[in-house]
Amino acid sequence: MAAFIKQQKEATPLFSFAGHMGEGFAIDWSPTVPGRLVSGDCKKNIHVWEPREGGTSWQIDQRPFSSHSKSVEDLQWSPTEATVFASCSVDKSVRVWDIRAPPNSMLSANEAHSSDVNVISWNRSEPFILSGGDDGLLKVWDLRQFKTGRPVANFKQHSAPITSVEWSPVDSSVFAASGADDVVSQWDLSVESSDVGAKVEGLKDLPPQLLFLHQGQSEIKEIHWHPQLPGVMISTALSGFNVFRTISV
């Protein structure tokens, strides 16, 4: 990259694909198959990229996964199943696909949220998918019960659309979320109501699974856990980057 800056040249892409019919925001590299990629667009189409030998080009099936009726907002590969990925959409659904199946054969929670589903995160060690929507809700889906269309957990703490969600890489019960209400929240599903003891006056309406609220930024767009340092998070916002760690995680 330094060479391009020095010569004032633009970096040319290693490979490009012109098959998407509109802009898109959803993309994810496979964690199990090097070079495998999935991408989605605002015209509801999803394409899987298969790397060719040599690693400098990809084969993309021209027939997309297209059963969503509106824009695809986020995509996540399964951390354990090489051929399985999940998607969420403005059409309010969360769907799970297997690339070995016909393109429009999938599992679907059709009314996963009451409005746009913005973001999803796939738990690394448990069969859980986390979703966040424009309704401000955070929902946890158990893939063993996915066909029921009912989440196993449902949290309404944010007062505006959810902008980012991510499971902790080291604790399968912990996740974090950010919202357009300028708040980052941290949660622990393993906490039960009885674990908390007497509720402090004024905090009695807070769910016991809520660990921490981080504030002070404006227009938070994305959050990530540090992959090596347990409990460390970074959040990116209009007002800048925050790196922080709480005593809760």
Is residue 236 in a domain?
no
Average pLDDT over residues 30-57: 94
Whole-angstrom distance, CA of residue 86 vs CA of residue 95: 5
Is residue 216 in a domain?
no
Number of H helices, E strands in the chain: 1, 19
Q: At a CB cut-off of 8 Å and minimum separation 6, what does 196 contact? A: 208
Q: What range defines the domain where residue 125 resides?
A: 2-156
Is residue 185 in a domain?
no
CATH number of the domain at 123, please: 2.130.10.10
How many structural domains comprise the chain? 1
Q: Supply the pLDDT for residue 3.
A: 56
Output the 3-class SS for 189-249: CCCCHHHCCCCCCCCCCCCCCEEEEEECCCCEEEEEECCCCCCEEEEEECCEEEEEECCCC
Is residue 19 in a domain?
yes
Q: Supply the pLDDT for residue 198.
A: 45
Average pLDDT over residues 85-108: 94
Is residue 114 in a domain?
yes
CB environment 96-115: b (16+ within 10 A), e (fewer): bbeeeeeeeebebbeebbee
Is residue 118 in a domain?
yes
Share of the chain above pLDDT 90, in %: 81
pLDDT band at 7 (very low <50, low <70, confident <90, very high): low
Tell me: pLDDT of 102 over 90. Answer: no
Which single residue is written with the structure tokens 């309704």?
135
Is residue 112 in a domain?
yes
Q: Rounded mean pLDDT of the chain?
A: 92
Is residue 173 in a domain?
no
pLDDT band at 53 (very low <50, low <70, confident <90, very high): confident
DSSP 168: -
Of residues 31 and 196, more confidence is placed in 31
